[in-house]
């Protein structure tokens, strides 16, 4: 349980730093081949899954918000700092200094995600609202899975991200399905929200 103690906070920060390093190193893989391993850092599926798990294993609303903030801030730091360091040795990573604009932008997004995490933790109240809240991260994964399926068919790329999103969707979707009280609200929310997210976020890029 991520309870906000020094030990759990250190664990979250360490996890964020490690994830930032790993996702940056995926840039060594080609982006536009069939598997597109580097897509794990540029699409949303991986972040939706990991942030959802951090919220789930937190001990309160405040801890969920703080844990997500620490995770994303530390990930952003190692992600962009490693690119800056690699730029001294590898031309493909050179960008005339630290990318402060993107670093600040994604830290602002981290603050937004932290606030959202505070709200999502209310799924533990086991009321009608929890059926809706549990469906939100699943809906995001469903929308990206649909979008990537179409993109893979048309462009023959992003296979790895599609497999990752699909497996995450099945595991998280079934897990939360067992936890909700009103399964009809849960399913209807997934259908409605995933459709909206798909047409607003993913459809314009297909």
Q: Which residues contact 39 (CB under 8 A, 6 or more apart)?
A: 31, 158, 160, 161
Question: pTM for the complete prediction?
Answer: 0.94
Q: What is the pLDDT of residues 13-30, one digit of tens each?
A: 999 999 999 999 998 888
pLDDT-derived band at 40, boundaries 50, 70, 90: confident
Report the mean per-residue pLDDT for the chain. Answer: 94
Give me the count of residues in the chain: 206
Contact 168, 117 (CB under 8 A): no
Mean pLDDT for the stretch of residues 157-169: 96
- The mean pLDDT value for 185-195 works out to 97
- Band the pLDDT of 91: cuts 50, 70, 90: confident
Share of the chain above pLDDT 90, in %: 82
| 3-class secondary structure, 173 | helix
Residue 189: what pLDDT?
97
109 is written with which tokens? Answer: 């997004």
The reported pLDDT for the residue numbered 190 is 97
Q: Which pLDDT score, from 0 to 100, does residue 112 have?
A: 97
């Amino acid at each position: 349980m991520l309870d906000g103690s020094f030990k759990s906070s250190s664990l979250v920060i360490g996890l964020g730093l490690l994830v930032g390093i790993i996702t940056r190193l995926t840039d060594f893989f080609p982006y536009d081949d069939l598997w597109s391993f580097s897509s794990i850092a540029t699409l949303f599926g991986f972040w939706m899954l990991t942030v959802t798990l951090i919220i789930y294993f937190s001990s309160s609303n405040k801890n969920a918000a703080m844990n997500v903030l620490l995770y994303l801030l530390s990930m952003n730091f190692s992600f962009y700092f490693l690119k800056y360091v690699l730029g001294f040795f590898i031309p493909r990573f050179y960008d005339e200094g630290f990318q402060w604009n993107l670093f600040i932008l994604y830290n602002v997004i981290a603050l937004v995600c932290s606030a959202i995490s505070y709200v999502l933790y209310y799924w533990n109240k086991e009321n009608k609202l929890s059926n809706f809240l549990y469906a939100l991260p699943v809906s995001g994964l469903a929308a990206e899975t649909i979008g990537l399926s179409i993109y893979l068919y048309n462009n023959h790329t992003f296979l790895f991200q599609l497999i990752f999103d699909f497996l995450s969707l099945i595991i998280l979707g079934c897990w939360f399905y067992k936890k909700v009280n009103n399964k009809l609200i849960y399913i209807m929310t997934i259908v409605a929200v995933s459709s909206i997210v798909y047409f607003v976020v993913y459809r314009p890029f297909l």
